[in-house]
Chains A and B, each alone.
Chain A
Amino acid sequence: QVQLQQSGPGLVKPSQTLSLACAISGDTVSSNIAAWAWIRQSPSRGLEWLGRTFYRSKWNNEYAASVRSRITINPDTSKNQFSLQLNSVTPEDTAVYFCARDISARFDYWGPGALVTVSS
């Protein structure tokens, strides 16, 4: 059974960097089948896929155009986890952030979600 556990601060100041981590159990971040994704949800934007990291002979990343200039998703094989960094945040980045396992771009296991508020 795959489980995803999220961690990170719930409050970030405007213009600063949002950082979240997602620890994986029951699978490996280096899987040749799965990808590992971040998705957020807000009342104004609904569910929004942000990006993913995956290993296929080498590490690959794909990002949504809406955040591409500000986002980094990194794997950490030593801790079997992956992380999200979103730079230069504004109040519009306030959302519940989910990590998820991606099998052929369907999301079959999700973390519990973390509310991140951008406010001074």
Chain B
Amino acid sequence: DIVLTQSPVTLSLSPGERATLSCRASQSVSSGYLAWYQQKPGQAPRLLIYGASSRATGIPDRFSGSGSGTDFTLTISRLEPEDFAVYYCQQHSYSLFPFGPGTRVDVK
């Protein structure tokens, strides 16, 4: 089974700064089937990126995804106040569809 790890656990940044979040898989993710979600307190996760680099409908272009094989990155080019949240990666190629443990982006 694929296990996803995310780093860092917490990222403390200021609005306007660039955020770089990492997701590493224990084995290669087929065809880059890696998704990213944003979750705010009391809300369901929101799909941001799928297929490693495709933005979901309505997602601003300051969010971008990259990577392949076992190493993937979510980049937020300039943090807006509404971007402070927890971010999860998830592989969507094999069965079980595991999620990573999350990275919290909070205000410095």
Chain B's nearest CB lies how many Å from the CB of A18? 19
Interface CB pairs A-B, < 8 A, 21? A46-B99, A49-B96, A49-B97, A49-B98, A49-B99, A100-B44, A104-B33, A104-B50, A104-B92, A105-B93, A106-B35, A106-B47, A106-B50, A106-B90, A106-B92, A108-B57, A110-B44, A110-B46, A111-B44, A112-B44, A113-B44
Tell me whether B84 is interfacial, beta carbon within 8 Å.
no
Interface pair A108/B33, CB less than 8 Å apart: no
Most buried by A among B43, B46, B57, B99: B99
Q: Is the interface of B mostly helix, strand, loop or mixed?
A: loop
* Count: A-B pairs, CB below 8 Å: 49
With A49-B97, A98-B45, A111-B44 given, can you name 8 additional A-B contacts, CB distance below 8 Å? A46-B99, A46-B101, A48-B99, A104-B92, A106-B33, A106-B35, A107-B37, A107-B47
A interface residues, Cβ below 8 angstroms from B: 46-49, 62, 64-65, 98, 100, 104-108, 110-113
Docked pose: A111 CA to B45 CA in angstroms: 10
In the bound complex, CA of A65 to CA of B90 (Å): 17
**7 tightest Cβ-Cβ pairs between the two chains A and B:** A105-B92, A110-B44, A47-B99, A106-B50, A49-B97, A106-B35, A106-B92
Set of chain A residues within 8 Å of B96, measured between Cβ atoms: 49, 64-65
Contact B45–A110 (Cβ < 8 Å) = yes
Least Cβ–Cβ distance between B79 and chain A, in angstroms: 23
